[in-house]
Every structure is written in C-alpha cells, then in structure tokens.
Chain A
Amino acid sequence: MQERADGPTASPGGSVESSVEAVFREEHGRLLASLVRRYGDLDLAEEVASEAIEAALVHWPVTGVPTRPGAWLLTTARRRAVDRLRRDRAYTARLAVLQAEAERGDPAAAPDADVDDLPDDRLQLFFTCAHPALPAEDRTALTLRCLGGLTTPEVARAFLVPSATMAQRIVRAKKKIRAARIPFRVPGADELPQRLPGVLQVLYSIFTEGYAASSGPDLQRVELAEEAIRLARILHRLLPREREVAGLLALMLLTHARRAARTGPDGELVLLEEQDRGRWDRAMVEEGCGLVRTALTGGVAGPYGLQAAIAALYDEAVDFAGTDWPQVVALYDVLLAVAPSPVVALNRAVAVAMRDGPAAGLALLDELADEPRLRGHLPYPAARAELLRRLGRHAEAATAYREALDLVGADPARAHLRRRLASVEPPGPGGDGSTAPG
C-alpha cells in the first residue's frame, strides 16, 4: 500500500474513498473537456470518462490515489477511446478527419502532446454547453452535467424534474451539438462580449436555484449554490481579465456568505434586516469585496459587478439600518442604466424606501404596478406588503401578503409570509377561515 492511501484520517479505507470523491468532482470537467477537444464527440468523451472513473474506483482503493490523478484518468480514458475506435470503423474514419482538423486548428492538440501538460480545455466546454443555439434550460443542465460532473439523476434532483425528463433534455442537447455541429471553441475577442453573458447567465441561474429554491421544503439548496460558486471560480481562473466573471463570482460569494443566517432554527426564512450578522461568513465577504474591486476597476461596470457592489454594501454594514442607503440607491441608478429591468426598478424602490421612508418607496412600487414582468413575481407583492405594514395600512398589507402567499414556492418563505400576515390581521376569530386562538 502506498503512502497516500493511509493518511491521518481514522479509517484508511474511508479516507481513500472520500479523496477519490473529491478528485472526481475536481477532475471530471477537466477530463471531459480534454477528451471532447481530442475526439470532438461528447458522447464518446462521456463514455470513456466514466469508464476511466470506474477503473479508478477499482484500482485506487488498492494502490492509493496516484500523485497525478488527472493524468492517470486521462491516460486511461484515452486507451479506452482508442479501443472503442478500433472496434468501430465508422468512428475510425471520423476520428481521422477530426484529428486532422484539430491538428490544423491547433498544434497543441496533436495526439502525442505530453499527457503531463494537461491543458485546461474547460473554457471551450463552458461555451459549448451555454451555446445560444441550445434551449436555455438545456444549457444549465448540460453545464451541470459536463462541467459540474453531476449525474443525470443529480441534475434532475437539482431542478426538481423527473430523471427521465432530464435525461431527455440532455440527450436532445447532445444531439443538437452533434447534428448541427456546434463547435467546441472559445469565441474570438470580437465575439466574446456577445457570448460571455450567456455563460454567466447559466452559472447565475444554477446559483439562484440553489439560493432561493423555487419550490420544495428547503429554502436554500446549499450544495447547488456551492457548485455554482465552484464553477464560477474555475471560469474566473480561466478568464482572469474578464471583469464580469469577477463580478459574478463576487455576487455569489457576497450572497452565499449570509447562508447560515438566512434560515432560522425551524427552517424559516430570516430577512436580511433580522439576520444575525455574526453568523455571516466573514472570509467569504472579504474575498467577495476584493473581487468587487476588480469588477469595478476600469470603465463602466457590468450588471454582475454592480449587483456585487450592492451586495458588498449590505455585507459591510454594521447593521441593516446602518447600510449606506444613498450609495445603494446610486448603484441601482447605474444598474438601471446599464441593464434596465422592472426587477431592478423594484429593488431600487425598496432601497429608496430605506433612504427616504416607506411612502417614497411605495410610490415607486405603485408606478410599477402594470409591469407585465412583475405580474406573478413574488418579491413585488411581498415588498408592497412590507411597506404598507410599515405605514400602518394593515388591511392593504394583508391583501398584499395574501397575494404573495399565492405565489410563494419554497415552504420556509411561506411560513414567514404567514407570520407577517397574522401580524397585520385583526385579532379574534377570523372571517377568512383563520383560527387564531384568542
């Protein structure tokens, strides 16, 4: 048994198993990207990648995790690919063409390139998975599957859809990549400004799905949010000079830093103003603030950098009331100019309410009443209800809380709204079926 197999952990077997797991999470995307680059075929790459991982599961517990696990996996996967291609003549013919193309396009992709160099080809895979020619929901699924290394059932669970539905979605996406020949390539400098937002959107939607689970008992699915952060870190490493990537990573970190304080002991939602700031992840806040500086330096900031800057103002305040509201409103003004949307206008109205009082905020919210994009958008009635409650307009607040309750998906948020509704309703036996004890 090699040295690495028995570490300081109590059970040597368990230690190998958990380090094997960790290696796979980290290496899967890299491995797959190298294979896709080499063979130009996502299906083949996935098959031999999973075969290599299976082989590792057999060998590593016996021999220990190799010093260069990534190189071991890639070598094993390549051998499997060669076996497979020899067996399959149609593939062989295709492989010859693909390799000729790859070598013409990029000398570094020559078949004998040193396996130890392990170039990171994940950037190509990010852009392929988030290609605008794929339906938006497929982009997210494919990214989690190919770069996150999640299995199809795991991706299905992440989005609360049946496994079979997710499998169909992934098959459909892969078929289009193959049949329409969506390339594995990083867009040129001239295209990047058009294509990068699509990749960022995918990562952000994974994060928000984890942050505010749209339905189900858990308000936050921490693992999904953490996966989004892991992917954003990878993208930031690959594109260190893209300020919006830094901005997105910062936004995620500054939001995720509050995760422990965001749900109460019974799983209920705790609003920002009521959160125990001592439970915020200070290291994460600091890291996020550092990235905000990168995102805001050099020209007009992008929407993610600006949202991160707003999140940083919340995270750096001693308490909710002490937030630098004029600065928050000013940043929302810039955000509205850069990326106008009714949702941003809604958030700005809430910040104005904090700066100038609830009446001023409510007036702005009422201006947005006819926005089709806010119809059925939970934060709108929830914010109105809150401001009406602060103004003492209880009957109107109750109506707005009921509207919000009709829209809420995640159970803990429901509990919060119920409590608030109860606080503005007249005491005693209710006329609308509520049975509050005297």
Chain B
Amino acid sequence: MKYMLLMYSPPMNDAGEVPEPCELEEWFQYDKEVQEAGIQVASHALQDLTTSTTVRVGEGGERVVTDGPFAETREVLGGYYVIDVPDLDVALDWAARCPGARGGGSVEVRPVSEEY
C-alpha cells in the first residue's frame, strides 16, 4: 500500500522564519535508509515558502494568482515521500524515523488513493 509522508516544519516564528528541526546530515541518512529499504516510490524536498505561488480559477475562467501558500498556516510543507509498505504501522514507523518528525516538526501520513 502506498502512503504519502507530508513533512511539515515546526511553526514559523513571528518574524516568519521557519526553524530547522534537524541537521542536513540526518536527512541524508534518512534518505539513504529509505532508498536501501526499497520502499521509495517518489520524494522531493520543496523550496521555501517565499517561492510559493497559488493559482485559483474562478467560475468565469479568470485566473487569480497570489503570492504564498493556499492556506494561512504557520507550519510549512517542506517535502514529501511516497513509500510503498505493507500497512499503516510500517508507514508510521518510517514517519517516526523521519528527522522532520522531531524538534517541533510533524509528518502527516496519508494513504494514496488506489482508485485512480
């Protein structure tokens, strides 16, 4: 079963800065473990929030482009993995090992729809 691990940063401080929950080294190590386990379907890290742009298309087809993410939020989606593992417990284990789950960060685990 495929699960997406969505990695959210710790909440931004009032200056709009996102604290780094862990060292880059830890990410490299985790990524290596995911590769070696042979469970990775896809993964990307995202650039920071200042580079984000949101698009909405209205009923009349008009395009509205705005700076920043879709929702006002203090936690920033920083990257994701899609992994293929037998069940939720295994997916939760991989989420718990992820450095992004520590230091105030969090990892949301969502099953990938198998219907489409």
Q: Which A residues have a C-beta under 8 Å from some C-beta of B?
A: 101, 131, 133, 179-183, 185, 187
Cβ-closest chain A residue relative to B1: A181
Complex Cα–Cα for A183 and B89 (A) = 7
List B contacts of A179 (CB < 8 A): 111
List A contacts of B111 (CB < 8 A): 179-181
Q: Are B92 and A181 in contact (CB-based, < 8 A)?
A: no
The secondary structure that dominates the B interface is mixed
Chain B nearest CB: distance from A189 CB in Å? 14
Chain B nearest CB: distance from A179 CB in Å? 6
Chain A nearest CB: distance from B92 CB in Å? 7
List A contacts of B1 (CB < 8 A): 181
Cβ-closest chain B residue relative to A101: B86
Complex Cα–Cα for A133 and B87 (A) = 12
Cβ-closest chain A residue relative to B113: A179
List A contacts of B88 (CB < 8 A): 131, 133, 180-183
Complex Cα–Cα for A133 and B88 (A) = 9
Contact of B86 among A133, A183, A187 (CB under 8 A): A183
Complex Cα–Cα for A131 and B111 (A) = 16
A131-B88, A181-B88, A182-B88 are known contacts; what are 18 more A-B pairs with Cβ within 8 Å? A101-B86, A133-B88, A133-B92, A179-B111, A180-B88, A180-B111, A181-B1, A181-B86, A181-B87, A181-B111, A182-B87, A182-B89, A183-B86, A183-B87, A183-B89, A185-B87, A185-B89, A187-B89
Chain A nearest CB: distance from B6 CB in Å? 14
B78-115 CB mask vs A (1 if < 8 Å, else 0) is: 00000000111100100000000000000000010000
Complex Cα–Cα for A180 and B109 (A) = 9
B36-79 CB mask vs A (1 if < 8 Å, else 0) is: 00000000000000000000000000000000000000000000
Q: Which of A131, A133, A181 has the most CB of B within 10 A?
A: A181
Nearest 4 A/B pairs, CB to CB: A183-B87, A181-B87, A180-B111, A182-B88
Residue pairs across A and B with Cβ atoms less than 8 A apart, 14 shown, are A131-B88, A133-B88, A133-B92, A179-B111, A180-B88, A181-B87, A181-B88, A182-B87, A182-B88, A182-B89, A183-B88, A185-B87, A185-B89, A187-B89
Chain A nearest CB: distance from B5 CB in Å? 13
Complex Cα–Cα for A187 and B89 (A) = 9
List B contacts of A185 (CB < 8 A): 87, 89
List A contacts of B87 (CB < 8 A): 181-183, 185
Complex Cα–Cα for A101 and B1 (A) = 13
Cβ-closest chain B residue relative to A183: B87
Chain B nearest CB: distance from A237 CB in Å? 24
Cβ-closest chain B residue relative to A188: B89
Complex Cα–Cα for A179 and B1 (A) = 10
Q: Which of B88, B89, B92, B111 has the most CB of A within 10 A?
A: B89
List B contacts of A101 (CB < 8 A): 86
Complex Cα–Cα for A181 and B92 (A) = 11
List B contacts of A183 (CB < 8 A): 86-89
Complex Cα–Cα for A179 and B86 (A) = 13
Complex Cα–Cα for A101 and B111 (A) = 19
Chain B nearest CB: distance from A294 CB in Å? 29
List A contacts of B92 (CB < 8 A): 133
Chain A nearest CB: distance from B20 CB in Å? 27
Complex Cα–Cα for A427 and B50 (A) = 72
